[in-house]
């Protein structure tokens, strides 16, 4: 999965001040040690290697492990590492690297442990006695500012979310989906997006496209000040998300899944696909289908899709292919016509689920 610093070129956000959602989570603490200290310029690589080794020690099969710096810990050598496991739940640990030959980890969450939701704190000055709620709360996660940024569409602000989003987590994959959505609409001349309004509630945040079209983001899971996951209208986002995948070669072209998400309100799976061709070829996307794990086929919804046309391409473009009522875990299939008059080639792109079945 691409880190958020790479994704800053693809979207972002509005800055909003407001109340805090305290990151009150440490789900089970443990420690382990490993050898080989990092050089100062490759700490994240060293942390990732040690994190993978740690997972192996515990017998976990890690999926897309990733680490990000945690400067709030007071050192440039502190990292928070995250991975989904084949058990369908996350493994999260924090490490502070040093100049000696020992690396210690604090295990923040393991498969089978419940990650407590973050606690919503009222805005400063809103307590019954008029005191400043922030002064009594431990430093936490600014839920209002985070979601306000996530849904705005300003590509310079999404980069600020990197430090408060767990690397490789469902929250990062959801941010990636939002980035691709806004950027693809902008590149392909979609309608102007309505402004999104975000409100803090006792359960989390309320996100409104219009006054009568709103969804709740609740059960925010925050580890070490970084958002890991949340629910939309009571639905976990992890099983609804697809992960970015490597390019699939199709003749002189390639196609790769950049992001995917099955929306809760629209019940539509949007798959963002980057197409690249060194020669002018014709992509036939109007007849694309989604094939689920049981082999059932679902035709593309061209009305909801972005760029689901038949077009010649020499270069690179990203399109959004939308299919109703299906989950990640299947594959997108469409045809690619070479310019030499030969039979068309079938592109088959796996849409890998972020949360595999246990």
- Is the pLDDT at 236 greater than 90, yes or no? yes
At 29 the pLDDT is 29
- Interval 77-116: pLDDT, tens: 778 788 888 877 778 887 877 655 446 788 877 877 655 5
What does the pLDDT look like over 152-198, one tens digit per residue?
Answer: 776 667 667 888 898 889 999 999 898 888 888 888 866 666 778 88
Tens of pLDDT, residue by residue over 142-158, are 898 899 888 877 666 76
Q: Please tell me whether the overall predicted TM-score, pTM, comes out greater than 0.75 for this model.
A: no
The 3-state secondary structure of 170-220, one letter per residue: HHHHHHHHHHHHHHHHHHCCCCCCCCCEEEECCCEEEEEEECCEEEEEEEE
Looking at the DSSP bridge assignments, the partners of residue 235 are 232
Taking the C-alpha atoms of residue 41 and residue 265, their distance in angstroms, rounded to an integer, is 45
């Amino acid at each position: 999965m691409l880190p958020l610093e790479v994704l800053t070129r693809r979207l972002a956000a509005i800055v909003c001040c407001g109340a805090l959602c305290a990151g009150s989570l440490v789900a089970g603490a443990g420690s382990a040690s490993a050898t080989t200290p990092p050089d100062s310029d490759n700490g994240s690589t060293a942390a990732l290697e040690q994190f993978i080794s740690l997972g192996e020690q515990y017998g976990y099969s890690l999926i897309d492990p990733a680490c990000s710096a945690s400067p709030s810990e007071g050192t440039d050598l502190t990292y928070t590492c995250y991975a989904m496991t084949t058990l369908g739940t996350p493994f999260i640990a924090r490490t502070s690297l040093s100049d000696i030959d020992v690396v210690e980890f604090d295990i923040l969450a393991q498969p089978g442990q419940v990650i407590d939701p973050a606690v919503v704190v009222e805005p400063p000055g809103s307590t019954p006695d008029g005191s400043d709620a922030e002064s009594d709360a431990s430093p936490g996660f600014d839920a209002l500012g985070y979601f306000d940024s996530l849904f705005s569409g300003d590509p310079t602000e999404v980069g600020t979310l990197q430090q408060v989003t767990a690397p490789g987590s469902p929250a990062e994959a959801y941010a990636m989906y939002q980035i691709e959505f806004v950027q693809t609409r902008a590149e392909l001349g979609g309608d102007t997006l309505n402004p999104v309004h975000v409100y803090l509630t006792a359960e989390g945040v309320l996100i409104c496209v219009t006054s009568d079209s709103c969804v709740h983001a609740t059960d925010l899971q925050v580890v070490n000040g970084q958002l890991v996951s949340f629910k939309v209208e009571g639905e976990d986002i992890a099983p609804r998300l697809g992960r970015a995948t490597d390019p699939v070669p199709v003749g002189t072209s390639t196609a790769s899944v950049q992001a995917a998400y099955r929306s809760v309100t629209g019940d539509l799976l949007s798959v963002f696909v980057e197409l690249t061709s060194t020669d002018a070829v014709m992509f036939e996307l109007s007849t694309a289908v989604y094939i689920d794990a049981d082999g059932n086929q679902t035709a593309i919804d061209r009305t909801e899709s972005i760029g689901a046309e038949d077009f010649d391409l020499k270069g690179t473009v990203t399109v959004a292919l939308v299919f109703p009522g299906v989950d990640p875990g299947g594959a997108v299939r469409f045809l690619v016509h070479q310019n030499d008059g030969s039979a068309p080639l079938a592109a088959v792109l796996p849409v890998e689920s972020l949360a595999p079945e246990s």
